[in-house]
Amino acid sequence: MADRFVESLLEWYDQNGRHNLPWHHNRNAYRVWVSEIMLQQTQVATVIPYFQAFMERFPDVQSLAKAPVDDVLSHWSGLGYYARARNLQKAAVSVVEDFGGTFPDTQDELESLTGIGRSTAAAIVAQAYGKRAAILDGNVKRVLARYHAVPGWPGQAPVLKKLWEHAEAHTPNERVRDYTQGIMDLGAMVCTRSRPACNDCPLQQGCTAYARDETSLYPGSKPKKAKPEKTTWMVILEDHEGRILLERRPPSGIWGGLWSLPELDPAYGAEELQEACEQSLGFNCGEPELISSFRHTFSHYHLHIQPARLDVTGQNNVKDDAQQKWLHRHEALTLGLPAPIRTLLTNPEQTTLL
């Protein structure tokens, strides 16, 4: 290997890298793929218990492909970015139906699967099959942007193109599995977003940003925009049997496909909630019990949630269907629920901490 960058990185990885992550055991394309999707926008420490529970329930691509979507979403509940879970199952079905249940080993074929982009496909090729493929996740972008002093936000096409060129140039033909894990580990453990441990970095000698004392400038930040503020009522309707009403969210958009609480127009005042429940939801209810409001932040807006609990008066003869379910709380908690809704149903007094 002529590339000193690669030699230094591999020497560091052999001594300091992560060699015992759950997806390193019984390593195959399915396990690598699930771990890579979970690790998008999510820290390793958070992913580990989710990955282990997911593998226990869905040990192979066939079991994932045939599972009910509610089951898949319930095992994803709390990880966020729920489109990942829906795309995961769509891709599993494609692997079973189009590839005979065996993951393809080429980048182009992997990228044809729903939710798999260039870097994820490369990670599967390198990690599962040991073939040369360049990755460029968030950690790798940071390492390369600093090492080569690539200016600009990586979300901009010219910046991303330059980073891909560096990624391709450095990726070795040998030990590619160790190299890809090593450069991800270096970004996560040493070349961190804030306060990078440059004195512990094996690439310090050749790092342009370090030489210029400009590590804080790379990679460039995404241009900031003020996030819009939205507000909604979320109502916990409870019938005489102690069951609560859940509604399935639309398949796309925020919390797509998950089960959540009914929402009411924020224009209603607290004193109007009883009337709103009858007009909008079709139920006669008692007086509302207000629960502490809280704010939940999405990637592109803040949502202020004002919860309220109301008893449904009279007999509840509404039948469950594909979009609504009346469930006891312990039953509701087995479904795919957004994290703040799960907390709200479990410990209402803790919602202010979300």
pLDDT per position as a tens digit, 96-106:
999 999 999 99
Is residue 223 domain-resident? no
Query: In this structure, are 156 and 245 located in the same domain?
Result: no
3-state secondary structure of 308: strand
84 touches 91 (CB < 8 A): no
Is residue 224 domain-resident? no
State how far the alpha carbon of 328 is from the alpha carbons of 38, 49, 77, 250, 321, in Å: 30, 26, 18, 22, 16
* The residue type at 100: G
Q: Above 50 in pLDDT, residue 248?
A: yes
Go through 157-168 and write b for each residue having 16 or more CB atoms within 10 A of its CB, e for each that does not: eebbebbbebbe
3-state secondary structure of 52: helix
Query: In this structure, are 200 and 251 located in the same domain?
Result: no
The DSSP string of 106-163 is SHHHHHTSTT--HHHHHHHHHHHH--------HHHHHHHHHHTT--S-TTSHHHHHHH
Q: Say which range, 4-8, 73-77, 90-94, has the weakest mean pLDDT.
A: 73-77
36 in active site: yes
User: Which is the catalytic residue, given 7, 11, 36, 238?
Assistant: 36
Q: Which of 217, 246, 273 is the last residue of a domain?
A: 217
Q: What total number of domains does the chain contain? A: 2
Query: In this structure, are 63 and 184 located in the same domain?
Result: yes
Cis status, amide bond into 219, omega within 30 of 0: yes
A 10 A CB-CB count for 178 gives: 19
Residue 280 — very low, low, confident or very high, per pLDDT cuts 50/70/90?
confident
pLDDT tens-digit map of 151-179: 999 999 999 999 999 999 999 999 999 99
Q: Above 50 in pLDDT, residue 199?
A: yes
Q: Above 70 in pLDDT, residue 349?
A: no
Query: In this structure, are 275 and 208 located in the same domain?
Result: no
Can you give the residue range of the structural domain that contains 305?
Answer: 229-353
Query: In this structure, are 202 and 79 located in the same domain?
Result: yes
Query: In this structure, are 262 and 124 located in the same domain?
Result: no
Chain-wide mean pLDDT for the chain?
A: 92
pLDDT tens-digit map of 119-133: 999 999 999 999 999
Tell me the C-alpha distance between 267 and 248, whole Å.
Answer: 23
Identify the pLDDT of residue 318. Answer: 67
Q: Which of the pair, 271 or 35, is modelled with greater confidence?
A: 35
| Nearest residue to 327 (alpha-carbon basis) of 247, 257, 233 | 247
Residue 56 — very low, low, confident or very high, per pLDDT cuts 50/70/90?
very high
Identify the pLDDT of residue 22. Answer: 96
Identify the pLDDT of residue 317. Answer: 63
In the numeric block, which tokens belong to residue 70?
């509610």
Q: Which of 164, 197, 217 is the last residue of a domain?
A: 217
In the numeric block, which tokens belong to residue 43?
């820290």
Query: In this structure, are 99 and 164 located in the same domain?
Result: yes
Give the mean pLDDT of 81-85: 90
Q: Which of 217, 250, 269 is the last residue of a domain?
A: 217
Tell me the C-alpha distance between 344 and 340, whole Å.
Answer: 6
Query: In this structure, are 163 and 294 located in the same domain?
Result: no
Tell me the C-alpha distance between 35 and 330, whole Å.
Answer: 29
Q: What CATH code is carried by the domain that includes residue 174?
A: 1.10.340.30
pTM for the model stands at 0.80
